[in-house]
């Protein structure tokens, strides 16, 4: 009997740890990056966490390849506060960080952002990477929810 009780306690603690950590787990939206001018491709991912309740805590990862060598990209995002998945009411693009490519025309950057936003707020976002050589890589529209 004591053995069953002990086993039940171990299982309860394990389940509590598993489900307790899911409240702070990240939610990730990903998109390919497509050249609208110039050359190159890539991917962009936005992961939001409940790290700071009442704050949008986002990790942005972008990587590119096949671009011009040794150029700097401005990583920019525009918001659409009507979350319908179409990004048809985008605001102005704002710089979030920069990415510099290698001699081979590839590069990656990790950007961390913390912005006041109420938990549960949902919005659409689109990213563009604007290169110092005039090239522009653009993401698809992504829908993000603040944890």
In whole angstroms, what is the distance from residue 67 CA to residue 137 CA?
Answer: 10
The pTM for the full model equals 0.81
Beta-strand ranges (E) seen in the chain are 27-37, 41-49, 55-65, 72-80, 94-100, 107-116, 122-131, 136-138, 142-145
In whole angstroms, what is the distance from residue 24 CA to residue 147 CA?
Answer: 8
Confidence of residue 1 (pLDDT cuts 50, 70, 90): very low
Give per-residue pLDDT as tens, 8-65. 333 433 333 333 333 445 689 999 999 999 999 999 999 998 776 778 889 999 999 9
8 A C-beta contact, residue 21 and residue 49 = no
CA 7 to chain centre: 40
Closest CA to 142 of 47, 24, 36: 47
Place of tokens 């998945």: 85
Closest CA to 62 of 87, 24, 95: 95
Give per-residue pLDDT as tens, 76-128. 999 999 999 999 999 999 999 999 999 999 999 999 999 888 888 999 999 99
> Which residues touch 25 (CB under 8 Å, ≥6 apart)?
49
What the block records as the tokens of 93 is 């693009």
Place of tokens 């307790």: 20
């Amino acid at each position: 009997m004591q053995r069953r009780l002990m086993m039940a306690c171990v299982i309860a603690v394990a389940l509590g740890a598993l489900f307790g950590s899911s409240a702070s787990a990240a939610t990730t939206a990903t998109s390919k990056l497509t050249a609208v001018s110039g050359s190159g491709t890539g991917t962009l991912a936005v992961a939001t966490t409940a790290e700071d309740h009442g704050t949008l805590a986002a990790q942005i990862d972008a990587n590119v390849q096949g671009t011009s060598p040794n150029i700097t990209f401005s990583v920019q995002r525009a918001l659409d506060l009507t979350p319908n998945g179409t990004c048809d009411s985008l605001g102005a693009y704002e710089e979030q960080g920069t990415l510099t490519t290698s001699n081979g025309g590839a590069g990656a950057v990790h950007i961390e952002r913390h912005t006041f936003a109420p938990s549960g707020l949902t919005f659409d976002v689109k990213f563009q990477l604007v290169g110092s050589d005039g090239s522009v890589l653009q993401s698809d529209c992504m829908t993000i929810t603040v944890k």
